[in-house]
Every structure is written in C-alpha cells, then in structure tokens.
C-alpha cells in the first residue's frame, strides 16, 4: 500500500508537474500563447510516454525519448519552429539535470544516506525540489520578458 502511495505521489507531484513545466516553458521561451485544448492533449501524451519510457527504458534513454516526444508535440500541436522547439526542450532538460545534480550534491553534503537518495522517497524529494527550482526559473524568465516588453 505504501509503495502504491509513493508511486502515485511520484507520478503526480514529480512527473505531471514536470510535464506541465516543460510544456509551459517551451511556450514561454518561444513567445507562444497557450491553447488550453492542445496543452491538455500534449500533457496527456507526454505523461503517458514519460511514464512508459521511465518504466521500460534505462536512465538517459527515457529522457531522450521524452524530449523527442516533447519536440514533436511542440512542432505539431503548437506550431513552434523545429529549431526553437529543439533549443528550448534541450535548455529545459539541461536546467532540470543541473537542478537535480545540485539537489543531490546538497543532500550528500548534508550527510543524507545514499540509500535514501536511491529510494523512491529520495527521488520524490529531489523531483519536487527540482520542479520548484524550475518554477522559480520560469517565473523569473516570465518577469524579465514582461518587464522588457513594457520598457521596449
């Protein structure tokens, strides 16, 4: 029962929010308005593919598959040019890797056991914190864009 609860928490609070942030981030960076219908379709597709990719593939490969799906959806549903879709998906992925790396480094410096870091609970903690870091980053980008629009 506890493992089912952890799985639900991980899928909702880590993977779902990460998918929302990635799709929103690509919209924000490419200056696209959000079409909520396409946003929900893209969210459902990315969640399903990310879930199955994480369950069936090794680390790294599932990231590439998820990124490819996100790029295709960005071009197909949102009509974002390929170069921008690739650039922004890659940028968001690199940011997430950096955030996760910083979190794991901090956890290790704080003396948190490696057993916890490798557990589902540790991955949930790192995932939620990295999502919050991405939210803050996207908020700052949005603020800067709005500010420069008003000044320009």
| Eight-class DSSP state of 32 | P
Q: What is the pLDDT of residue 51?
A: 78
Provide the token pair at 31: 């200056």
Residue 84 pLDDT > 70: yes
Burial class (CB in 10 A: 0-12, 13-18, 19+), 12: exposed
pLDDT, tens digit, for every residue of 94-151?
A: 999 999 999 989 998 999 988 988 888 888 888 899 999 999 999 999 999 988 888 7
Q: What is the pLDDT of residue 96?
A: 92
Percentages of the chain per state (helix, strand, coil), in multiples of 5: 85, 0, 15
Name the band, by pLDDT with cuts 50, 70 and 90, for residue 152.
Answer: low
pTM, rounded to two decimals: 0.88
| Spans of all domains in the chain | 2-151
């Amino acid at each position: 029962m506890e493992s089912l609860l952890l799985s639900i928490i991980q899928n909702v609070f880590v993977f779902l929010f990460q998918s929302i942030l990635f799709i929103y981030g690509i919209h924000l960076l490419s200056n696209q308005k959000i079409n909520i219908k396409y946003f929900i379709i893209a969210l459902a597709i990315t969640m399903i593919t990310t879930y199955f990719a994480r369950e069936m593939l090794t680390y790294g490969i599932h990231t590439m598959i998820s990124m490819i799906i996100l790029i295709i959806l960005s071009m197909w549903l949102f009509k974002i040019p390929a170069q921008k879709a690739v650039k922004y998906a890659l940028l968001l992925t690199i940011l997430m890797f950096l955030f996760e790396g910083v979190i794991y480094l901090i956890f290790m410096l704080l003396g948190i056991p490696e057993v916890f870091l490798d557990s589902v609970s540790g991955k949930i903690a790192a995932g939620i914190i990295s999502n919050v870091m991405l939210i803050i980053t996207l908020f700052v980008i949005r603020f800067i864009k709005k500010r420069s629009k008003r000044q320009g």
